[in-house]
């Protein structure tokens, strides 16, 4: 019972951390890129990329922090890492896996690709009564979030340097 209480507290704490981070995130890029009411708002691609990179970097930063905190606090000695190595629900999405493949990514404005949704069905596991299962679900979620945010951050930085700075960041 004690463990359950503490883990629930931990979950709550983590959620609070997440929410607060998201709120903080707003302050990072609080200025709207287009002021409200502006009809023809022209934003340079440079500004757009700069903003996007800042955001993605920040999100990855937060995800790393959350994962590290959780790992330090709840996952020690539980061997979650081995179990979580393969269980991201976004793994099925086809994305560049290395630099060469990432460099092949091009921005095609207007092209709508078939969006392959990868539905996350892990919510029930986050609410499970069993503490072990629940903690592992959180660990898995945070691990995947960290990885995916790093992926996106890397892609955006690559794109920015290629498009804006002509591969000379």
Q: Which residues are annotated as a binding site for Zn(2+)?
A: 57, 153
- Under a CB-based contact definition with an 8 Å cutoff, are residues 33 and 51 in contact? yes
Among positions 25, 28, 29, 158, the unique one binding another protein when judged by CB under 8 A: 158
Q: What is the rounded CA–CA span in Å between residue 137 and residue 127?
A: 9
**For residues 35-94, which are near another protein according to CB under 8 A?**
57, 60-61, 64, 68, 81-83, 85-87, 91-94
95: contact with another protein by CB under 8 A: yes
Contact 155, 147 (CB under 8 A): no
CA 23 to chain centroid, in Å, comes to 15
Number of residues that bind another protein (CB under 8 A): 37
The piece of 17-25, 30-38, 110-118, 150-158 that touches another protein (CB under 8 A) is 150-158
Q: Which of 78, 102, 131, 133 binds another protein (CB under 8 A)?
A: 102
Closest by Cα among 45, 51, 42 to 164: 45
- Cβ-based neighbours of 50, under 8 Å, separated by 6 or more: 160
* Distances 77 to 81, 90, 112, 132 between C-alpha atoms, Å: 10, 26, 45, 12
Q: Known binding site: residues?
A: 57, 153
* Binding status of residue 134 toward another protein by CB under 8 A: no
150 binds another protein (CB under 8 A): yes
Site residues (vs another protein, CB under 8 A): 57, 60-61, 64, 68, 81-83, 85-87, 91-95, 97-100, 102-103, 147-148, 150-151, 154, 157-162, 165, 167-169
């Amino acid at each position: 019972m004690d463990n359950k209480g503490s883990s629930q507290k931990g979950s709550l704490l983590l959620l609070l951390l997440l929410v607060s981070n998201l709120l903080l995130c707003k302050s990072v890029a609080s200025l709207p890129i287009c002021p409200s009411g502006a009809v023809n708002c022209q934003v340079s691609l440079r500004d757009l990329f700069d903003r996007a990179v800042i955001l993605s970097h920040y999100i990855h930063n937060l995800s790393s922090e959350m994962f590290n905190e959780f790992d330090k606090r709840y996952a020690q000695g539980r061997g979650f890492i081995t179990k979580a190595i393969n269980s991201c629900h976004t793994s099925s999405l086809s994305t560049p896996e290395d630099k060469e493949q990432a460099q092949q990514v091009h921005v095609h404005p207007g092209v709508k690709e078939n969006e392959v949704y990868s539905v996350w069905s892990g919510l029930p596991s986050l609410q499970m009564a069993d503490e072990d299962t629940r903690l592992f679900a959180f660990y898995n979620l945070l691990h995947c979030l960290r990885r995916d945010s790093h992926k996106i951050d890397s892609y955006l930085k690559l794109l920015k340097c290629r498009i804006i700075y002509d591969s000379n960041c």
